[in-house]
A and B are shown apart, each in its own frame.
Chain A
Amino acid sequence: ETGVTQTPRHLVMGMTNKKSLKCEQHLGHNAMYWYKQSAKKPLELMFVYSLEERVENNSVPSRFSPECPNSSHLFLHLHTLQPEDSALYLCASSQDRGLLYEQYFGPGTRLTVT
Chain B
Amino acid sequence: AQKVTQAQTEISVVEKEDVTLDCVYETRDTTYYLFWYKQPPSGELVFLIRRNSFDEQNEISGRYSWNFQKSTSSFNFTITASQVVDSAVYFCALSGGAYSGAGSYQLTFGKGTKLSVIP
Binding site for B on A (CB under 8 A): 4, 31, 40-43, 45, 48, 55-56, 58, 88, 90, 92, 94, 97-108, 110
Contact = CB atoms under 8 A, between A and B. Distances in A.
B102 to A, nearest CB: 7
B104 interface: yes
A43 B4 CA distance: 11
30 contacts: A31-B105, A42-B4, A42-B108, A42-B109, A42-B112, A43-B107, A43-B109, A45-B102, A48-B103, A48-B105, A48-B106, A55-B103, A56-B102, A56-B105, A56-B106, A58-B102, A90-B43, A94-B105, A97-B103, A99-B32, A99-B33, A99-B104, A101-B105, A102-B47, A103-B47, A103-B107, A105-B44, A105-B46, A105-B47, A107-B44
A55 B105 CA distance: 10
Contacts of B111: 40-42
B66 interface: no
B43 A99 contact: no
Contacts of B95: 99
A102 B34 CA distance: 10
A35 to B, nearest CB: 8
B37 to A, nearest CB: 8
A59 to B, nearest CB: 11
A105 B45 contact: yes
Given A42-B111, A102-B35, A108 B43 contact: yes
Contacts of B4: 42
Given A42-B111, A99-B32, A108 B44 contact: yes
Contacts of A42: 4, 108-112
B45 A99 contact: no
B103 A56 contact: yes
Nearest to A91: B44
